[in-house]
Amino acid sequence: MDHLKAERGLSSNTVAAYRRDLRHYVDYLRECGVARPDQIDPGVVAGFAHQMTAEGLSSATVARMTVAVRGLHRFWVSEHYASEDPASQIQPPHPGLRLPKALTVDQVDRLIAATGGMGPVAAPEQLRDWALVELLYGTGARVSEALGLNVDDATRLLTEPTAGLRLQGKGHSERVVPVGSYARASLEAWLVRGRPTLAKLAKVASPALFLNARGGRLSRQSCFNRIAELGRLAKIGADVSPHTLRHSYATHLIDAGADVRVVQELLGHVSVATTQVYTLITVDHLREVYRQAHPRAL
């Protein structure tokens, strides 16, 4: 776990997922009577993947667990706990393609309106939610990137019209993304009219941009809960999460003709293949428009 975090630069959430998956693997090894890494052969590794599938886990979950196991065996070889890697030829199952769920532009507007932050007498939490939704949709930031922001990161946006927002991505990577006028206006309202009120409630001052009701940094779970509640208030009729807004950001850009490699840079994807899934959504959208609009489509 130290190697994953310190040397490979994986996030705390990813390291926690590795830990959970590898605990399952260690339990399986004990059941097989394995006591040392050099006692494991390819059949043992393949048997683990087969058992996870037999227990009803999805192909995506089994694939993730297989990747964790392969990483562990590579680590054992590199640290000389084992001379061979029995997992090197074990391929994770290919999960079916899952297209991201994107909101329509109208649904995004309704979600923003549900925050209540644009009203003249909005409460601090409403101003925070407004700024949070506008920022997530307006920049395509991951939830961890948005919640990791501090006040200083946003202050420059309000003083320099052309300034971008620096986001700390996966593996300590950084990127600068443009921020539109809607997100800027919501951030200014939050910083001027909302955040000072919540900041006074903290026992210890926090530099965090987004605060909870006690003045501390807003947590990931609280953010998910707030976005989901806003989705229900907006009567969108689907589970809405911070990642839904990131998907919507990318889909709407590509729908409007943005180059996929530009979207790749904006999202912070290492590979363009990850971004290309959004082009499939656009093709699906085009088919639906054709089916509804062309007199001989049916």
Which CATH number is 144's domain given? 1.10.443.10
pLDDT tens-digit readout, 248-267? 999 899 888 888 888 898 99
Please indicate, yes or no, whether residues 114 and 259 belong to a single structural domain of this protein: yes
The residues assigned a catalytic role are 142, 170, 243, 246, 269, 278
CATH number of the structural domain spanning residue 39: 1.10.150
Could you tell me how many helices (H) and strands (E) the chain has, helices first?
Answer: 15, 2
SS3 category, 245: helix
pLDDT, position 55: 83
Please indicate, yes or no, whether residues 70 and 115 belong to a single structural domain of this protein: no
According to the per-residue pLDDT averaged within each range, which of 152-156, 212-216, 236-240 is highest? 212-216
Please indicate, yes or no, whether residues 111 and 156 belong to a single structural domain of this protein: yes
pLDDT, position 99: 57
Kindly report the pTM of this predicted structure.
0.68
Domain of 176, in residue numbers: 105-288
pLDDT, position 11: 84
| 92 in any annotated domain | no
Please indicate, yes or no, whether residues 33 and 69 belong to a single structural domain of this protein: yes
| 131 in any annotated domain | yes
Residue 273: exposed, middle, or buried by beta-carbon count in 10 A (0-12, 13-18, 19+)? exposed
Q: How many domains does the chain have?
A: 2
Please indicate, yes or no, whether residues 273 and 130 belong to a single structural domain of this protein: yes
Rg value, the chain, Cα: 23
Residue 167: in which H helix or E strand, if any?
Answer: strand 165-168
Is the pLDDT score of 116 beyond 90?
yes
| 70 in any annotated domain | yes
pLDDT, position 68: 92
Among 102-116, 118-132, 150-164, the least confident range: 150-164
Please indicate, yes or no, whether residues 183 and 67 belong to a single structural domain of this protein: no
Please indicate, yes or no, whether residues 31 and 113 belong to a single structural domain of this protein: no
What value does the mean pLDDT take over residues 240-248?
A: 92
| 95 in any annotated domain | no
Is the separation of the CB atoms in 260 and 251 below 8 Å?
A: no
Centroid of chain to Cα 185: 24
Cα–Cα distances (Å) from 37 to 27, 40, 146, 244, 281, in that order, read: 14, 6, 40, 41, 44
| 85 in any annotated domain | no
Is the separation of the CB atoms in 25 and 48 below 8 Å?
A: yes
Please indicate, yes or no, whether residues 246 and 157 belong to a single structural domain of this protein: yes
